[in-house]
């Protein structure tokens, strides 16, 4: 099942391109969301001063640290700072935005944090129902607590859980048709909401979808108002984008589990051949 181009267009008119903090299910306390945002896998998520969220991606060639975000948050020719709630601040010295997709990567100067290092999804298989973790620094509040959607902002990282609801191959965002991953803000009453169910809000653009194996599937581009049943869209990490990123950064790519199995099979087969020859 895929969303229609009409739905995408209407959403973009109602909510123009914007930085998308976390709004959470209204039956859990804010302390739960803050605690989840400080879980070990999310401690590489920082605030980009241009107005969005980014994630530490890894150390590449020459010991250079890199991060990933959305292109509409920070793009080629822009510099900024990458900031954390504990006061840590790092210069972003170069940004590379990718043509045809709302994804960018950036160089981080002076990186000295020991945090979880994610990998990029490389197989192009996007299975509906896959569960994700995410985090951001943007506007925040419990769903329904502010009918005007004027969310509060601070310098704290909040986390959330969500799942893949839909995929659209030619979703037009900022004039570029691209593959988008869609999530939905599920109500507790629906029986579909996760324990720390949340939804991206202004200031979260660029935040990642991180699966249970530590792979980033996409980064947040935009979405509808922060109400139950509404949708957000994430620019997908396709195999082409993943390979471009790894090539440009020099970060070592980690094979998909299926690829690793094939490699293992090949090694085993070669060993058997050698045994037969001996």
CATH of domain 5-249: 2.40.10.120
> Residue 2: what pLDDT?
38
The pLDDT value given to residue 212: 98
Q: How many residues does the chain have?
A: 278
pLDDT surpasses 70 at 28? yes
Backbone angles phi, psi at 172, to 5 degrees: -85, 115
Are the beta carbons of 45 and 204 closer than 8 angstroms?
Answer: no
User: Does residue 24 come out as left (phi exceeding 0), alpha (psi in the -120 to 50 range) or beta?
Assistant: beta
Q: What is the pLDDT of residue 138?
A: 82
**Residue for token pair 């037009």:** 172
pLDDT tens sequence across 154-186 = 889 999 999 999 999 999 999 999 999 999 999
For Cα atoms 243, 200, 223, give the angle at the middle one, nearest 5 degrees.
80
Residue 265 has pLDDT above 60, yes or no: no
Please provide the distance, in angstroms rounded to a whole number, between the alpha carbons at the two ends of the chain.
Answer: 54
> Measuring CA to CA, which residue among 139, 248, 272 is closest to residue 198?
139
3-state secondary structure of 254: coil
pLDDT mean over 237-264? 80
Separation between Cα atoms, residue 117 and residue 21, nearest integer Å = 22
Confidence of residue 256 (pLDDT cuts 50, 70, 90): low
pLDDT category of residue 50 using cuts at 50, 70 and 90:
very high
Weakest-pLDDT range from 4-18, 109-123, 190-204, 248-262: 4-18
pLDDT tier at 20 (50, 70, 90 boundaries)?
Answer: very low
Q: Quickly state the pLDDT bin for 153 (edges 50, 70, 90).
A: confident
Q: Which helix (H) or strand (E) holds 107?
A: strand 104-108
| Edge-to-edge strands, sheet with 141-142 | 141-142, 22-24, 198-200
The structure's pTM equals 0.86
């Amino acid at each position: 099942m895929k969303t229609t181009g009409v739905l995408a267009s209407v959403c973009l008119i109602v909510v123009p391109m914007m930085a998308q903090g976390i709004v959470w299910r209204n039956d859990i306390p804010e302390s739960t969301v803050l605690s989840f945002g400080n879980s070990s896998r999310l401690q590489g998520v920082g605030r980009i001063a241009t107005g969005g969220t980014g994630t530490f991606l890894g150390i590449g060639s020459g010991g250079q640290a890199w991060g990933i975000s959305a292109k509409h948050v920070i793009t080629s020719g822009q510099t900024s700072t990458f900031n954390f709630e504990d006061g840590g601040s790092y210069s972003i010295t170069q940004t590379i935005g990718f043509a045809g997709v709302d994804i960018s990567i950036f160089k981080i100067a002076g990186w000295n944090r020991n945090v979880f290092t994610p990998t990029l999804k490389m197989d192009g298989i996007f299975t509906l129902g896959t569960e994700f973790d995410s985090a951001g620094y943007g506007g925040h509040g419990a769903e329904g607590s502010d009918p005007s959607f004027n969310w509060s902002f601070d310098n704290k990282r909040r986390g959330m859980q969500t799942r893949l609801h839909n995929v659209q191959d030619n979703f037009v965002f900022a004039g570029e048709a691209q593959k988008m991953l869609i999530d939905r803000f599920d109500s507790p009453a629906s029986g579909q909401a996760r324990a720390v169910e949340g939804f991206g809000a202004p200031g979260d653009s660029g935040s990642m979808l991180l699966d249970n194996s530590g792979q980033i599937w996409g980064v947040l581009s935009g979405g509808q108002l922060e109400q139950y049943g509404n949708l957000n869209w994430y620019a997908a990490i396709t195999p082409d984008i993943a390979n471009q990123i790894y090539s440009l950064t020099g970060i070592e790519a980690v094979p998909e589990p299926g690829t690793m199995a094939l490699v293992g099979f090949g090694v085993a087969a070669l060993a058997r051949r050698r045994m037969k020859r001996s």
